[in-house]
Amino acid sequence: MSEDVKAVVGLSHVVKEFRRGDTVVRAVDGVDLTIGRGEFVAIMGKSGSGKSTLLHLISGLQQPTAGTVTLLGRDLTRLTDDQLTLVRRDQIGFVFQFFNLLPTLTALENVALPLLLARVKTQEAEARARHLLATIGLASRAGHKPDELSGGQMQRVAIARALVNDPPLLFADEPTGNLDSVSGEEILLLLKEMQTGRGKTILMVTHDAKAAAYGDRLITMRDGRITMDERTGGSAA
């Protein structure tokens, strides 16, 4: 297997600039990065360091000002908006800090949503969602709406939603940022399990060093550049 196939994410001389009035802000400044299949990568850095922007570029939510971003061998800079959407739908699972579940849908419906958007039949989609909820210990909460769940439960539902399409990549943006320490640890263990048990590639942005310790690779960013990229071995798990 060549190095290219093993690499699920590749960034080459990536620059991302934003215009704020008359000022141009360079959020990501010439980043080169390769992430291999099955890695759990934690990205750390202060506010404004460019870590979230990096995540957005890798997921195709934003396009770089310069450089190329490849995901599973496809150059994201050459894709249309709809093609990028399909990449996100089929290849990436997202976990957000504030869970971002749709308030009008039940836990089951929230988890099944990506499948339904992919035109999977409702019965099959709900069966898969139900199975996944059972796997993460929320079978009994399937019929509840988000406002009837705790923070930890909501985040677990969000992880189930991210996994329901069985995407090879899981992107988590501060997944424990809005949780108490016990719930946070449960979520991190769940993510680790997804890496080790299911072979998912995980990219997690976090402020929290304890959370970062669950990854087996730690990237530190500052002023849009990678200042450190080290193997940690996932010691916390």
Partner 1 sequence: MTALYAKFARRYLLGKKGRSLMTLLGIALGVTMVSAVMLTNSAILASYESLLSAAAGRADLQVSAASGSGFPEQVLADVQTVREVGAAVPAVTSGAPVVAGERKSGATFYGVDPALDTQVRSYKLKDGRLPRRTDGRETAISSDLAQALGIGVGQTYSILTTTGLQEFTVVGIFDAGGTVRGALGPFGILPLRTAQEIFGKVGKLDLIDVIVAKGSDIAAARERLTEALGSRVRVGTPVERSRDMQKVLDSVKFVLTMAGSISLFAGAFIIYTNVAMGVAERRRDLSILRALGLRRREVLSLVLSEAGILGLFGSVLGLFWGYGLAGAMARQLTGQVLVAYGLQKAQVTLDGVTTALALIVGVGTALFAAAGPARETVRVSPVEAMRPDGQGDTARERHVVLRAAAGLLLLAGGVAFTYLTWPEQGMLSALMLRAWGVAMALMLLGVVILLPVLLPLVDRWLLRPLLARVLGVTGRLAADNLVRNPRRTAATVCALMVSLAWMVAMGGVKASQVASFDNWYNKAVGWDLNISTSYAGLGAQVEIDPALARDLAAVPGVRLVSPQKMTRAMLADGDPAFLQAFDHRLLRQYSEAPMEAGTWTAAADAMEQGGGALITPAVARRLHVGLGDDLTLPAPDGDLRLKVVGIMTDVTPYGGTVQIDWQDYARHWNDQTASNIAVLLQQGADPAIVRKAILDRWGDAMHLTVRRNREFWAELRAQYEGFYKLMDGLIWISILVSGLAIANTLFASILERRREIGVMRAVGTTRGEVIRVVLGEAFSTGVVGAIFGMPIGVAIHWVMTSSMEFINGSSVHPVMGWGAVGSGLLVALLLAPLVGLLPARWAARLDVVDALRYE
Residue numbers at the binding site for partner 1 (CB under 8 A): 56, 59, 61-62, 81-82, 85-86, 88-90, 94, 96-98, 100, 102-105, 113-114, 116-119, 147, 161-162, 165
- Smallest gap from residue 228 Cβ to partner 1 (A): 25
- Smallest gap from residue 107 Cβ to partner 1 (A): 15
Q: Are 101 and 165 in contact (CB under 8 A)?
A: no
Pairing of strands 217-222, 40-45: parallel
Q: Cβ closer to partner 1: 175 or 234?
A: 175
Q: Cβ closer to partner 1: 40 or 94?
A: 94
Q: Cβ closer to partner 1: 161 or 217?
A: 161
- Smallest gap from residue 162 Cβ to partner 1 (A): 8
Q: Cβ closer to partner 1: 77 or 232?
A: 77
Q: Cβ closer to partner 1: 7 or 8?
A: 8
- Smallest gap from residue 68 Cβ to partner 1 (A): 19
- Smallest gap from residue 101 Cβ to partner 1 (A): 8
